[in-house]
Structures are given as structure tokens and as C-alpha cells.
Structure 1
Amino acid sequence: MRINFDFNDLEAFLAVMETVSFHHAAERLNLSQSAVTRRIQKLEETLGSVLFDRTTRAVKPTLAAKRLQARAEAMLESARETTLAMRDESVAFAHQRGAVVTVAMIPTLVHPLLIPALQMLHDKGLPVRLRLLDQAANEVAEAVSREDADFGVCSIGLLEPNTHFEPLFDDLIVLCLPQGHHLATKSKVTWADIQSESLILPARGTGNRLLIDEAMARSRFTPQWAFEVGRSTTAMELVNEGLGVALLPRTSMLSSQGRGLVYKALGAPVVARPVGLLTRISAPDTSLAQAFKSALRETSAALRAS
């Protein structure tokens, strides 16, 4: 059975029961008498019962109305208690919700960009409760577009149409080598130098791989890769074990895992991924999100200068 009445109808019913008058019930509810009448009629149609016997002189509740009264009062009281409880909970946790920011970010940017920004906010006395979604670039774009994140930090890739990309800096793709590798002593490394190396490349379909493939096509360089991996951290593990050399963003070398490795800039064509802030178009920022973005802009300025 479809329930076709609401709390306003019950409120009008109880007002008529208490005043025994459609006119006085309308005055109490600040409604027209015809509006009260329509609400009572809707209740009667839904319940299939007449609730009031009306004459020109009096309004008399029926047996159905008397049976409904206690239940209507209980329903309205339960609704009021639920509303108050929800409001109290909202007030109690409002300061926490306002202090939480959800950021979607490429994992390789956590150490060089996110951690210094967090430290900057801490030094300014701004408490931060961070929900971090460390994902690939395309997943970051999806998280921002779906409103799963307040904003994102990623390289430009397959951006969603309702997002805006604000460039922060260009992150060079460099050659990552183990200590003692014969290319580590060269002052300049070319694409031809890695022709015979055991090459570790990002997985197909990722933003980094698309940039690398375009560069190799321009230089007519067709190496036989040995490994395709989805994460820069995995590539660095393989390099650390001497299993190959990897093409990775320079920022990944700034992580604790990359500090023991050697990186070399490659000659023309130079490959760089643009890194920036990704936000939803027309979505207002909280004060904390604004402060966080400002800190990331300052942090990225140091990376541009290095």
C-alpha cells in the first residue's frame, strides 16, 4: 500500500482534533481553512476512513479519528526527536568536518610536495585532518569529478570535462639507475645510450607512458622493454635490485626509496609531465582547502627552482 500523506497532514489532523474546529486549526497553523481541509481530505482518502463529521455548527471526530490520534502524536514526536538528534550530532561534529580535507594525489608527489605542504600548515598553526587518496593520474581526475575528493594533485591526463587544471611545475622524466651503473658516470645520457639496456617502463595507458611513447616515436627510438609496471615504487625496487633502468618522474627520486639511486636527465627529446591542482569547476573551497592549495603552490615553487 502506498503511503500518500506526510507530517504536515498529521499536524493539521491533530490541530483539528484539539480545537474541534477547522477555522481555529487553520489559525493555529497559519494556513487557510481550505488548506487544512485539503490535508484532512488527503488523510481520509489514504486511510479510507472519514475522520470528522462536519455540520454547519460543529466538527465531531469519528471513531477512526480517535484511533488515529495517539498514533499521529507518536509519529510526530518521533520525527521531532530524530530531527533534534541529527541537529545535535551535526553541531557536535561540525568543527571536525570543517577541519577535514580529502585530497587525491599521485603517490610520487607525496614526499616532495605533500609532506612539505603539511609541515607548512602545521607551522602556521592550522590543524589538518587529511584523507589522502593516493591514486594514478586518471583515478585522481575521476575522484575529483565524482566529488570523492575536495581537489586533486596530478599530471595532466584524461581530464574530466567538469574539472579545471592549474599547472604548478613541469616534472622531468629522467633515467633512474642503480649505484655503480656504467651510465651513472656519463655527463650526458641520450636515448640511444639506453637502446641495449634492460628497460623498465610505466604501464601502458598511464599518463607517463603516453608521454614517453610520444618522445620515443619522435626520436625513432624503439627499445625492447623488459618490465612494465604500474607504480614508480615498483620500478625503483627493480632498479635497486639491478634488474634494469627505469624512466621515471624526477620527483620520484626525491622519495626515501629513490635516494639511493642515481638519476640522469635525458637529451632531446626532453620529456616532462605537467603537474598541477585539479578542481571541480565552480566548486567552492573550504578555508582549509584554500590554505592547503596555497601551501602546495609554495612547495611547488621550490621544486621549480631546484
Structure 2
Amino acid sequence: MSINYDFGDLEAFLAVKETGSFHKAAAKLNLSQSAITRRIRKLEEALDSQLFLRTTRAVKPTLAAKRLQSRAEVMLQDARETSQAMRDESVAFAHQRNALITIAVLPTSIGTLVLPALRRFREEGHSARVRILDLATNEVAEAVAEGEADFGVSSIPALEATTRFEPLLEERIVLALPINHPMAGQRAVEWANLKSLPLILPSRGTGNRLLIDEAMARARQQFFWTYEVGRTSTALEMVKDGLGAALVPESATGGNDVSYVPLNDTRLMRSIGLLRRATHAETSTVKALINALRKTPK
């Protein structure tokens, strides 16, 4: 029998049980309300039991919830005692405790921001291990809001009330063309020039697609894409193969087999910055990496 829930799900359950509210439970655990809802749903599916009766006025625990409460409390207490014991036994290696930083980043920001910051971080003498989650924009926001990452590097402002966004740089969205395309080498292209091209656009719902759609609307242009892809790297491979032209962030440029031409629209820009939980207590090591990102040349 597999166990398909974790301690975070049990913590969410006990917080809702104690407060009688998904909203108050989210505030107590410093998570978004949607994150609490997902954890409760996951726990209910794993246990095959409804835990709360939800009405417009109240959240009432079911009999299953009342039976689960004492077991959940014991499991969490055992986990805390085990963690404490492990920390006590590892006191001789105190420098390794809390020395793991998890950051959620956009793949296109890695070369521009993340790698230079990591080099500076090491040069300053920090030895913490760094786990990098390269995710889409919405996934970065979710990882930060749910506490799966210490912070994120994202291209859209905070989507949850529990997070805050700090811009670090502005970059253009440019047109990627096959190296031998007639438009390659031009100083800039107009929106109207794109109508004759087989366009490769980011998937709908992504941060880059939102920026592009808004810019098209401002320019009163409407285009029909030929290909829609989830990753900028995929779009560039398709451009390289001659399948079309793609709108991509400037930080993704650099390949010698593709030409990049800016659009004659200064409003087609995106902000790249830090996404952090608003009230989360960050360790000194996390703060040091954040400061290294701030110092990265723009």
C-alpha cells in the first residue's frame, strides 16, 4: 500500500481543523488559500474520505476528520522529534545544516542572472548546496507560494497575496529568424512584417505569451500562429530548422545558427526579478544568494 500524502498535507489539515477556515489556515501556515485547498484535496483522495463539509458560511469537520486528528498530531510530533534528534546528532557538522537553497527559475534567466550570481556567491565564500528548479513562469510562482522554493526568479509580478516581486532587469522580446532569412540583419522589424511569417509563439497561459498578446492588442494587430510551444529552447530549435520565426526573450539569444531582430515596439518588454514569500524568514545563506543576484551586472 503506497502512501500518497506527506507531512505538509497533515499540517494543512490540522490548521483547517483548528481554525475552521481555509483562509485562516493559509494565513497561519504562510501559504496561499489555493495551496491549502490542494493539500486537503490530496489528503482526501489518498485516504478516500471527505474531511470537511464546506458551505458558504462554515467549514465543518467530518467524522473521518475527527478520527484523523489525533493520528495526524502524533505523526507530526514524531516527525519533529526525529528531526530534532537528527540535528542534535549532527551538531559537529553545523555548517551543513540549513545549507541547502532551493530556487525556482525561468530557464531563460539562468545564463543572464542565475549563473553570474552563483559565481559571485561562491567567490564570496559560501558553500551551500543549491537546487535549481527550472520551471515555467506560473510554476515558479506556485513553487514559491507553496514553499517548495526559498525564492524564485520570474518574469511576472506576484500572483498571490503571500508573495512579493522585486524587479532586477528589463529585457526585450525579439524576433528569432533562420540565419539565411531575408529579414535577418535588419535593425528592426514592424509588427506588419510578421504577417507573412509562419509564427512560433509561446503556449497560451505562459508569462511570455501574455506579454506578446498584450503588445499585439496595443498595436491593434492580430496574427495566427503556425506553431505553439511550451519552451523557448524548443522554439529556437524549430527556427534553426527553418520551420518559422519565433518571438523570444532577448536573454535566450546567443546561438550562432539563429538571427535575432528587435521589433520596432519599445513596449514589448518583460521584467525579470525576485519572487519571494512576503513573511517568510530567510536564512542568512539565502539572503546572501539573493544579494548576489541583485549585484549581477545588468
Same fold (TM over 0.5): yes
Q: 1:157 to 1:231 in 2, by over 3 A?
A: farther
Question: 2:284 is aligned with what amino acid?
Answer: S
- The size of the alignment, in residue pairs, is 218
Q: Determine the structure 2 residue equivalent to 1:238.
A: 238
What is the CA–CA distance in structure 1 between the aligned matches of 2:123 and 2:85, rounded to whole Å? 37
Q: Deviations over 1:9-44 (max 9, x none)?
A: xxxxxxxxxxxxxxxxxxxxxxxxxxxxxxxxxxxx
Determine the C-alpha separation between the residues in 1 that align with 2:286 and 2:83: 30
Partner residue in 1 for 2:295: 298
CA RMSD of aligned residues (A): 2.0
Task: Report the 3-state secondary structure (helix = DSSP H, G, I; strand = E; otherwise coil) of the residue aligned with 2:197.
Answer: coil
SS of corresponding position for 2:293: helix
Determine the structure 1 residue equivalent to 2:193.
193
Partner-residue secondary structure (3-state), 1:282: coil
Q: Does 1:216 align with 2:216?
A: yes
Give the structure 2 partner of residue 229 of structure 1: 229
Structure 1 stretch displaced more, 154-163 or 279-288? 154-163
Q: Check whether the contact 2:158–2:165 (CA below 8 A) recurs between aligned residues.
A: no
State how far apart, in whole Å, the 1-side matches of 2:289 and 2:129 are. 11
Match of 1:249 in 2: 249
Give the whole-Å Cα distance in 2 for the aligned partners of 1:160 and 1:266. 32
Structure 1: unaligned runs, 5 residues or longer? 1-80
* Deviation for aligned residue 1:238: 0.4
SS in 1 for 2:170: strand
Task: Provide the C-alpha distance between the structure 1 equivalents of 2:183 and 2:111, rounded to a whole number of angstroms.
Answer: 27
Deviation for aligned residue 1:187: 2.0
Q: TM-score, normalised by structure 2?
A: 0.68
| Shift in alpha-carbon separation, 1:154–1:83, aligned structure 2, 3 A | closer
The answer on 1:145 being equivalent to 2:145 is yes
Aligned identity (percent) is 51
Report whether the alignment pairs 1:203 with 2:200.
Answer: no
Relative distance call for 1:93 and 1:201 in structure 2 (3 A) is farther
- The 5 A counterparts of 1:9-48 are none
CA contact (8 A) 2:187 2:262 kept: no
- C-alpha distance in 1 between matches for 2:82 and 2:199: 62
Partner in structure 2 of residue 264 of structure 1:
261
Q: What SS does the aligned partner of 1:172 have?
A: strand
Q: CA deviation at 1:213?
A: 0.7
Q: Per the alignment, in what secondary structure is the counterpart of residue 98 of structure 1? A: coil
Deviations 1:168-218 (A, max 9, x none): 111211111121211112222111111110110000011111111111112
Report the counterpart of residue 278 of structure 1 in structure 2. Answer: 275
State whether structure 2 residue 96 is matched by structure 1 residue 99. no
Distance in 1 (CA, whole Å) between partners of 2:117 and 2:214 is: 33
Q: Which amino acid aligns with 2:117?
A: A
Q: Which residue of 1 aligns with 2:284?
A: 287
Q: 1:166 to 1:84 in 2, by over 3 A?
A: closer
Correspondence for 1:128: 128
Over residues 109-161 of structure 1, what are the superposed CA-to-partner deviations in whole Å (9 max), with x where a residue is unaligned? 11121111111122222213111111111111111111111101001156111
2: CA distance, partners of 1:113 / 1:83:
35
CA distance in 2, matches of 1:251, 1:83: 42
Query: Segments of 4+ in structure 1 off by > 3 A?
Result: 81-90
**Does the CA contact (< 8 Å) of 1:138 and 1:158 recur in 2?**
no
> In structure 2, what is the Cα distance between the partners aligned to 1:220 and 1:245?
20
